[in-house]
Amino acid sequence: MYEIIYMRADYEPWWQFEGWEEHVVERKVFDCEETARAGLSELIARLRQECEHEAEKDGKFWAFWNVKEICFCEDCAEDLQLYHGLIVMKDGKPHPFSKK
């Protein structure tokens, strides 16, 4: 089973800090790799239209952000960048798609 996770946090999705799942906005579940790839492509296309910047890591994590989209951190008393993150999961673990 494949899953595409969309999260919003003040860090890129590949860090997966403790409690990262609290930042999950949406989970999409797919039965096969082909439909999961299509779902991921759709989300990437949407975020590319909405965000100015993007980064990818290991073929399983994507981060999108706009410089002016920030949140205030009470603990560090400063503004932090807000990221829109995507994670490809297979059987509950981050997993890149096979090469085509």
Segment 2-33, tens digit of pLDDT: 999 999 999 999 999 999 999 999 999 999 99
Find out whether 92 and 44 touch, Cβ atoms under 8 Å. no
Q: Is residue 10 part of a domain?
A: yes
Which range marks the domain in which residue 73 is found? 2-94
pLDDT, the chain, mean: 95
Evaluate whether residue 61 is within a structural domain: yes
Is 31 a member of any domain?
Answer: yes
Structural domain count, the chain: 1
Is position 85 within any domain?
yes
Check residue 75 and give its pLDDT.
Answer: 87
For 2-60, the three-class secondary structure string (H helix, E strand, C coil) is EEEEEEEECCCHHHCCCCHHHHEEEEEEECCHHHHHHHHHHHHHHHHHHCCEEEEECCC
Bridge partners (DSSP) listed for residue 8: 84
